[in-house]
Amino acid sequence: MKPKDTVKVTETRQMSWPLLAAGGVFFGLATAAQFNDPDPELWMPIYGVPCVLTSLALIAPTVTESLTWMLVIILDMFSTLLLFVYTMWSGGVSDVTSGLHNEAGRELAGLVILNIWLFILLLHSPWFLSSRWSTLRMFLLTIILSIVGVGIVYYVYVVSEDEKCSPHVI
């Protein structure tokens, strides 16, 4: 007879494989789409790492049980967060305030989606779900919710106001 924890992890993996498959396809296509970007050498690895991690979680689900899995995802989350801050800071107000109409706005949206996906992948790690890591779990959740919250407030107050003031061509 299997221990209760093993049965729970197996049931969770069986329920989440469609989500992982959809994420793997999405990030695979996003990686391929970056080929036409002005700087593909930067963005292809950024979208390729989650694609590879998702593929690994689908092909060899036991890989998510290692501490290395969790550390690679956390490292990728922090590097993505640093790139998010750098893009916000170096993009300038005019680039970032145009929302998805400009490259900087699209890059920021992609980085937010990427960080949310990495957090979903992190939830597949038994190490991360153990009580030992509860502080780290709350810290990462706070960071992700803060990024999403800042993005929503930014869009509502800056981008939507900017669109109201700008003349629309019919």
Predicted confidence (pLDDT) per residue in 91-143, tens digit: 654 555 556 667 777 888 888 889 888 888 887 777 666 666 667 767 777 77
Residue 167 lies in a domain: no
Smallest Cα–Cα separation from 72: which of 62, 83, 63?
A: 63
Rg (CA), the chain: 18
Residue 142 lies in a domain: yes
At residue 170, the pLDDT reads 46
Residue 101's domain comprises 4-162
Residue 64 lies in a domain: yes
Residue 169 lies in a domain: no
- Count up the domains in the chain and report the number: 1
Give residue 79's region: left, alpha or beta (phi > 0; psi -120 to 50).
alpha
The DSSP symbol for 167 reads: P
Residue 50 lies in a domain: yes
Q: For 13-45, how does the pLDDT look when each residue is reduced to its tens digit (9 = 90+)?
A: 555 788 888 989 999 999 999 888 888 898 999
* The pLDDT of residue 10 is above 70: no
At residue 168, the pLDDT reads 47
d(CA 165, CA 44): 36
Residue 119 lies in a domain: yes
Q: Which amino acid is at 72?
A: V
Residue 129 lies in a domain: yes
